[in-house]
Amino acid sequence: MTDHLMLNQWIEDHVRHCQPDRVVWWRGTTAQYDETLAMMVKNGAAVALDPVKRPGSYLFRSHPSDVARVENRTFIASQRLADAGPTNNWIEPQRLKSILSGLYAGVMKGRTMYVIPFMMGALRSPFSKIAVLLTDSPYVAVNMQIMTRTGDAVLAALGMGGAFVPCLHSVGYPLSAGIAGPAWPCAPIEQKYIAHFPEERMIWSYGSGYGGNALLGKKCLALRIASVQARDEGWLAEHMLILKLTNPEGKVRYVTGAFPSACGKTNLAMLVPTIPGWKVETIGDDIAWMRFGRDGRLYAVNPEAGFFGVAPGTSTKTNPNAMATIAKNTIFTNVALTDDLDVWWEGIGTPAPDHLIDWQGRDWTPASNEPAAHPNARFTAPAAQCPAIAPEWEDPAGVPISAILIGGRRPTTVPLVHESLNWNHGVFMGSTMGSEITAATISDQIGQVRRDPFAMLPFIGYHAGDYLKHWLDVGAAHDPLKLPKIYHVNWFRKDADGKFLWPGYGENSRILKWIFERADGTAGAIDTPIGKMPRPADLDLAGLDIHPETMRALLSVDAEAWRREADSIEKYYGIFGDRLPAALTVELASLKKRLA
């Protein structure tokens, strides 16, 4: 099927080992995509949604034990434990290969192996990376079609000897002859392995069919393996959205933004601004690959082709662009099904119908005491369908970045926005960002900050201390005047009664405007011990009903609280041991001095 001898050999080896009944090459055509979905509707794995209300769209329900990424079953199998670092699960690679080889033996019996050549990044972009996925999940195949560039065009780009990242995936559920098996096959949790071999640039995933565990282009390749490639090749593979901002005069600036989960990242990526004349467009909602151009500026591409967004909470109020994106040609997973074959979820903005089929396929009524959709229910939709997608979103050269946003959920201490003093200070800010732990997370640590450097904690494919050093090195190697400033934003500051101080959503455009104008040198700021900050008068607050006292609270720096923050950072830095970059110790000492 291909002239690439190494690829053929690799496929042959795995066919012999996994023993699928048949092998199908993924061609990337609409016809193959449609046929695969029709086959899954016929065998009961998918429900075809109403062709008028939700054209070209399907619903899948996962096994109740297979509903999200599994961090405790995700492994970085570097040769040395020290290279995986304190934040990753490590297994010696030969041991992991031997466990997994045992599990993969004959695992595809009764199933089809799909051979899916795919590309992260646009065709003809020097940023792009090619990979080939062998999977026994047709659900994964159709999702990969939306999330990546797949098929013959990628194979042609690979040529006879091009480099590719080998990705092997199995749901871990072989079929006995004549038995159909469950609609969502998967293995028990202790047999799930999401395995990365960073030195070999190889991914093996076993036992899960869900999201980041199974759509291997996303977190496994575009972040964990790519972060290692980026370290070795001098670029940045980051968990960041990419936005295009246009001011009323038509001037354009691009920004990236790192946010941990549950911070409204997809909403920000598709934000509808409330300030007149300003336009916000989407380049990407989750991952940014950034390299320096010949002009010394940092350029970003979105390596993905689709969105794999959380459905619950998405509505025409919170994210009208996402709602328009998923109006057609969308794969829904674990949302509720209405009696007229449409979808529903908590927070969709319409009242719950009297009857639904819930995400587990059971009858559901408003009297039920469980949610109808799983909280991590997802939509998979083509990025090209987003009304806010920027025309240049697939530009092979990427877009020049003027600012990098970072942020988490911080009800106290962290103001609405502050700007880094320089690159190293920005990396310090990125290394310490995170969200306050709430009852929804780990109950015995409520109120503490779960630090998540650049929102990459679960996605760094090597030692987290070396990752921070890489950020510092990248800055040191380039013209400081051309490096983007880093902005810590915090939409989640609360008052003493626990009420949010800032309205968020489209009003966040007011902060984006200040950041845009800072890059242009036209917006004011004052020096504070934690960085540069706007005064209320530096922000465009026209038409916003917000009390001056509230603005003062949002833009205040409580030195005592920040001294406690500095102590907490010092404690947290302990996990990096001797791999904590010295420049970050210097930044922490400088912060303490400014606060004294």
For the annotated catalytic residues, the residue numbers are: 263
Give the Cβ contact number of residue 351 at 10 Å: 8
Between 114 and 259, whose beta carbon lies closer to ligand O2Y? 259
**DSSP, res 500:** B
**Contact pick of 376, 420, 490, 509 for ligand O2Y (by CB under 6 A):** 376
Name the residue with the smallest CB distance to ligand O2Y.
211
Angle between helices 559-573 and 582-595 (to 10 degrees): 160
CB neighbourhood size of 545 (10 A): 6
Window 405-444: contact mask with Mn ion (x via CB under 5 A):
----------------------------------------
Site for ligand O2Y in 166-195 (CB under 6 A): none
Q: Which is nearer to Mn ion, 311 or 519 (CB)?
A: 311
Size of the site for ligand O2Y (CB under 6 A): 9
Q: Residue 318 binds which entry of ligand O2Y, Mn ion, none, with Cβ cut-offs from 5 to 8 Å by kind?
A: none
Distance separating alpha carbons of residues 231 and 234, to the nearest angstrom: 5
Q: At which residue do the structure tokens 């590309």 appear?
A: 119
Decide if residue 286 touches Mn ion (CB under 5 A): yes
Tell me the two tokens of residue 312: 């619950």
Q: Which residues contact 560 (CB under 8 A, 6 or more apart)?
A: none
Q: Identify what 415 binds: ligand O2Y, Mn ion, none; CB under 5 to 8 Å per kind.
A: none
Size of the site for Mn ion (CB under 5 A): 1
Give least dist CB 286 to Mn ion, A. 4
Alpha helices in 241-289 (DSSP H): 265-269
Question: Which residues sit opposite 255 in a β-bridge?
Answer: 243, 403
In the complex, the smallest distance separating the C-beta of residue 67 from ligand O2Y, rounded to whole angstroms, is 7
Q: How far is the CB of 259 from ligand O2Y (least distance, A)?
A: 9
Query: Restricting to residues 205-224, which ones interact with ligand O2Y according to CB under 6 A?
Result: 210-212
Q: What is the dihedral of CA 96, 101, 107, 109, to 10 degrees?
A: 170
What is the tally of helices (H) and strands (E) in the chain? 16, 30
Residue 212 vs 217, nearer CB to ligand O2Y: 212
Distance CA 542, CA 287 (A): 33
- Residue pointed to by tokens 């007149």: 276
CB of 393 to Mn ion, least distance (A): 18
Residue with tokens 């109403």: 50
Helices 138-147 & 30-42 angle (0-180, nearest 10):
150
The residue within the footprint of ligand O2Y, chosen from 136, 238, 286, 436 (CB under 6 A), is 286
Q: Which stretch binds Mn ion (CB under 5 A): 120-128, 280-288, 342-350, 431-439?
A: 280-288
* Stretch 55-114 residues interacting with ligand O2Y (CB under 6 A): 68-69
String of contacts with Mn ion for each residue 523-542, x by CB under 5 A: --------------------
- Give the list of residues 6+ apart from residue 70 with CB closer than 8 angstroms, or none: 189, 192, 194, 208, 213
What value, to the nearest 5°, has the Cα angle with vertex 57 and ends 56 and 60? 145
Q: How far is the CB of 548 from ligand O2Y (least distance, A)?
A: 37
Shortest separation between residue 380's beta carbon and ligand O2Y, angstroms: 10
Q: Which is nearer to ligand O2Y, 310 or 472 (CB)?
A: 310
Binding site for Mn ion (CB under 5 A): 286
Binding site for ligand O2Y (CB under 6 A): 68-69, 210-212, 261, 286, 308, 376
